[in-house]
Amino acid sequence: MFNRGGFVIVTNRSILCIAVGITLLAATVHAEKIRTSVPGLNLNYLSVLSAEDRKFFRDEGLENETIAIGGPAGIAALVSGDVDFSGAGGSGLRAAVRGAPLKAIFYQTEKPTWYLVVNPSIAQGSDLKGKKIGVALIGDSEDRFITLFAERSGVSARELTKISLGTSIGDKILGIKSGAVSAVVLDPAGTVAAEREGMRKLAFLGDMFSLPFQGYVVSNQKLSDNPTQVKRWIRAMTRSLLFIRERPEDAADIALRRLRIKNVTKPMLTEAIRSYVRAFPPGIPGVPSPEGVKSILEHELRIPLKLDKPLAAENFFDLRWAEEVRKEFEAK
């Protein structure tokens, strides 16, 4: 399109550009606005951010807003309808045990992605006896995994002092540097940053616990009223996880822009992402195995909550949409 003698000349190319622009505008106007809450802006939830950046949500007719809210608060927001999807899977299932109308729909990994990072003076698990341990929230998944690790090392929960530090990687690293705590749980990116500050990783918790991790929950009402939206959300998230696994360097670019991690470089984040995807299941992610579901019911719910009777999976999981999406990807 150009001006000649006061007249606007329209070319075929300009018509094409206008048509494309109108199509994109229409897609944006009609996109369903949704909110996804995550417990923290760290590598474990890069998938949501990359689904935004790579337009995977938009391809599914969704306009997502990611909100960082701690576990119980995120579940309260989900129950109230303030958010549509929550990455606080453990908190969501515990709320479901207490009667909240929620179900788990999607799991990113088949095992925990956390490292136990410690002051260099801690040489082995038994050295945690009598020490202060930093967790995001008292009673959350970090708390339980540290307790399990300590117990396997011969240290009882009563011999640990837990301190809530929140989800900030910087605050956790500062907690060890200042001497406020001796150990914290960090994702792979936070672990790389902590090692740069002179701390050491004591254990990769994923090698110790076979438990599906990073689950997402939704309300029963969402499943009933808008199941197609749930499926489209899962499809976008599946694409994002495959992108992270197949293109770690490009994923690192998104992490540099979107995650609040200080003093890390792209090579460091790329290394962290390659470490993170160790926890992915082989093939298409999203659906925990039947054994994994049983492990969640037992080790995330029945034992920690001291329940006498076994729990029925159908009361806590609705994986049909994740299974359908997996079949779609496997057929490609």
Greater confidence (302 vs 28) lies with 302
Task: Please state the rounded mean pLDDT for residues 24-33.
Answer: 63
Q: Which of 234, 229, 294, 173 is nearest to 33 (CA)?
A: 229
Cα–Cα distances in angstroms (integers) from residue 52 to residues 16, 37, 40, 122, in the given order? 26, 13, 16, 40
Give me the pLDDT at residue 29, please: 54
Give tens-digit pLDDT for 117-161: 999 999 999 999 999 999 988 877 788 888 889 999 999 989 999
Q: Which of 121, 140, 276, 278 is nearest to 202 (CA)?
A: 121
Question: pLDDT at residue 292 above 90?
Answer: yes
Give me the pLDDT at residue 96, please: 97
Least confident of 7-11, 233-237, 242-246: 7-11
What three-state secondary structure class fits 42?
coil
Confidence band of 189 (pLDDT split at 50, 70, 90):
confident
Give tens-digit pLDDT for 48-77: 999 999 999 999 999 999 999 877 889 999
Q: What is the pTM of this model?
A: 0.83
Q: Which domains does the chain have, with CATH numbers?
A: 34-111+211-331 (3.40.190.10), 115-207 (3.40.190.10)
How far apart, in Å, do the first and last CA atoms of the chain sit?
40
Confidence band of 207 (pLDDT split at 50, 70, 90):
confident
Confidence band of 277 (pLDDT split at 50, 70, 90):
very high
> Is residue 202 a contact partner of residue 125, using CB atoms and an 8 Å limit?
yes
Give me the pLDDT at residue 21, please: 47
Contacts of 219 (CB under 8 A, 6+ apart): 78, 79, 81, 101, 102
Give me the pLDDT at residue 102, please: 98
Task: Please state the rounded mean pLDDT for residues 29-56.
Answer: 93
Question: pLDDT at residue 30 above 60?
Answer: yes
Q: What is the mean pLDDT of the chain?
A: 89
Q: Which of 322, 303, 295, 240 is nearest to 273 (CA)?
A: 240
Question: pLDDT at residue 12 above 60?
Answer: no
